[in-house]
Structure 1
């Protein structure tokens, strides 16, 4: 009976790892898309609304924005490694949701107002 329980726990752990890999993928893709869409929008006629990101853009251009995003991802990684495994998915979700919102918002702005910028 104990071996069945161990097998079940191993299966749950493996499945949890797959969910976390998926969430990491969402975090990375959403972060990259946010940077790309921001750079496209700024190159057209839009301005960055986030004052910290705007300062990074003004100081170092796209490299500054990418550095800022990498710093945020590094902070997420530290949090991910330091919290209990039960909270890791919450940390990844909490980081990815604003990124996904920004991607959707930037996409809508580019589609709706981008042609008027050119």
Structure 2
């Protein structure tokens, strides 16, 4: 590419700034938003399953809200809590611009996946 064409190209494409990189990241994340919602739902189902299995092994739920839901309603209480979290996430998603929509399921997925990992480790340690 001749220098004159390179200069024209650079003028038509602004320099790479943190804002432009963030914009590209958010646009690419918007393309996987549906997959993130599926990941959140699956992780929540696995979390409930592991929680129930851990309780059968003698482990104790440390989250006081989840412990109260389990004590009062059993497994259905946990499913209810997960449903409320998904519902609130869905309501929050409706308030956001599409560029930021993937942040909601991502914000739900990260702590849920951390809880799944902790449950797996605790169950493995208990069984060892």
| More helix by percentage | 1
Alignment of 1:1-118 (within 5 A): 18-113=31-126, 115=127
Q: How many equivalent pairs are there? A: 102
Output one character per residue of 1:40-97: Cα deviation in whole Å (capped at 9) or x when no partner. 1112200101000000000011011111111111111111111111211111111100
Q: Which runs of 5+ in 2 are unaligned?
A: 1-27
Bigger Rg, which one: 2
After TM superposition, the score normalised by the length of structure 2 is 0.74
Q: Which runs of 5+ in 1 are unaligned?
A: 1-14
CA contact (8 A) 2:43 2:116 kept: yes
Runs of 4+ in structure 1 deviating by more than 6 angstroms, as ranges, are: none
- Show the counterpart of 2:23: none
CA RMSD of aligned residues (A): 1.7
